[in-house]
Amino acid sequence: MCSRALTIGALAEQTGCNVPTIRYYEEIGLLPPARRRPGGHRFYSEDDLRQLTFIRRCRDFGFSVEQVRTLVSLAQDPDRDCNETRDLAQAHLAEVRRKLIELRALESSLEAFVDNCTAACAGGPASQCTITQDLTGPRGSRCCG
C-alpha cells in the first residue's frame, strides 16, 4: 500500500492550483467529491493528484472547462475512441493558431504605435499623440467628407 493522503493544501501545491479552485472544481463536478476526515477536512490520494494534474495541464493548455470535462470522461472510459481526443486537441490547435495570427498583428501595431510616438511626439499633449490619432481613425476630425 502506498496511499499517502494529501491535504487540500498539499494537493494545491503539487498541482499548481489554488485551494479555492480545487473546491470549485469539486463544486462544478469536474472533480468527484473528495473523501473527508472525521472533522470534515478533505483528503486526497495519488490518483486524485494525477487526475487534477491532468485537469490543470489541460487548463494550462487553454482547453475550456467544458472541453476538459470531455477529455476527462474520455480518459476514464476505456470504450471510447481515441480519435475523439485527437479531434478535440486538433480543434484546439486550430484555435491557438488563429489567436497567434491575431496576436502577431497586434504586436506589430503596438510596436509601431510606440516607436512612432517616441519619435514624433514625445512629451506633447496626449490629445495630439500619434497613438491617439491612429486609434481615432484616418478620418480625423473631418466631417461630411
Partner DNA sequence: CTTGAACCTCAAGTTACTTGAGGTCGCATC
Partner DNA sequence: GATGCGACCTCAAGTAACTTGAGGTTCAAG
Sites of contact with DNA (CB under 7 A): 7-10, 12, 18-21, 23-24, 34, 37-42, 59, 64-66
Residue 74 CB partners (closer than 8 Å, separation 6+)? 80, 82, 84, 85, 88
DSSP 127: G
Interaction of residue 17 with a second copy, rule CB under 8 A: no
Tell me which residue has cell 490520494: 45
Q: For the stretch 23-47, what's the b/e string if a residue is b when 16 or more beta carbons lie within 10 angstroms of its beta carbon?
A: eebeeeebbeebeeeeeeebbbbee
Q: Which does 5 bind (CB under 5 to 8 A by kind): a second copy, DNA, none?
A: none
Interaction of residue 14 with a second copy, rule CB under 8 A: no
The minimum distance between CB 128 and DNA, in angstroms, equals 26
DSSP 36: E
Interaction of residue 74 with a second copy, rule CB under 8 A: yes
Interaction of residue 84 with a second copy, rule CB under 8 A: yes
Q: Which does 129 bind (CB under 5 to 8 A by kind): a second copy, DNA, none?
A: a second copy
Binders of a second copy in range 28-47 (CB under 8 A): 46
Q: What distance in Å separates the CA atoms of residue 21 and residue 25, rounded to the nearest whole number?
A: 6
The minimum distance between CB 39 and a second copy, in angstroms, equals 26
